[in-house]
Amino acid sequence: SQKIEQNSEALNIQEGKTATLTCNYTNYSPAYLQWYRQDPGRGPVFLLLIRENEKEKRKERLKVTFDTTLKQSLFHITASQPADSATYLCALGTGGFKTIFGAGTRLFVKA
Amino acid sequence: DTGVSQDPRHKITKRGQNVTFRCDPISEHNRLYWYRQTLGQGPEFLTYFQNEAQLEKSRLLSDRFSAERPKGSFSTLEIQRTEQGDSAMYLCASSPKGFVQYFGPGTRLTVT
């Protein structure tokens, strides 16, 4: 069956370190993959999109990699700050209009 | 541009009652999505509109759920005969052409 897996356990890191979040998927052939941030009680906010023919995408302190052979995306936040504490959602699109979201990983950055 | 808005933000209802939620997308976004999200889970796709046409509806949606988008502007999601299992956050998102979705703040439904 189709599945998207993100670390269910929260990730705790120290301020200034690099946070790395993982998104694995099975039985999908996504045309693109997105990462969203969600704060408690709010809707998700788009961060980055990477297409199947791209290996890496960067935006300020954020970096996303996409390995269609491993069926995995890694999301990095460098020089992390307490304000980066949130839930980060991975989302797959198959090229149509439907987007499938993972359950998200909670990130806590300690000062 | 004020973003996607949803109304109400919170709704408490008794089991068996009908509820209706409204979503106002970003103007000129022709794509509109509804999702349901429960605690600890990601948004779960419910339905999709392109302009006024409902192009897909999740099989997870029972006959008690219906959505409309008259004139391709705002959208409503109605749940009839609510059940406790319907308690969740209902999220609306809109999108111009492309894949990025802009989410509203959500409507939190509690069925007692």
Per cent of chain A over pLDDT 70 is: 98
What's the CA gap between A95 and B103, in Å, rounded? Answer: 19
What's the CA gap between B93 and B52, in Å, rounded? Answer: 15
- According to DSSP, residue B23 is labeled E
* Strand (E) or helix (H) holding B111: strand B107-111
| Cβ partners under 8 Å of residue A53, min gap 6 | none
Which residues of B touch chain A, with CB atoms under 8 Å apart?
4, 31, 33, 35, 40-45, 48, 50, 55-56, 91, 93, 99-106, 108
Beta strands in chain A (DSSP E): 3-6, 11-14, 19-26, 32-38, 45-51, 56-59, 62-67, 72-77, 86-93, 99-101, 105-110
In whole numbers, what is the pLDDT of chain A averaged over residues? 93
A60-70 mean pLDDT:
95
Tens digit of pLDDT for each residue in B3-36?
999 999 999 999 999 999 999 999 989 999 999 9
Tens digit of pLDDT for each residue in B51-75?
999 988 888 777 899 999 998 899 9
Residue A32 has its nearest CB partner, among B43, B50, B99, at B99
State the best of A1, A49, A97 to mutate against chain B, taking most chain B CBs within 10 Å: A97
State the best of A46, A52, A100 to mutate against chain B, taking most chain B CBs within 10 Å: A46
CB B38 within 8 A of CB A80: no
Q: Is the pLDDT at B1 greater than 60, yes or no?
A: no
How confident is residue A95, by pLDDT bands cut at 50, 70 and 90? Answer: low
Residue B103 has its nearest CB partner, among A43, A98, A102, at A43
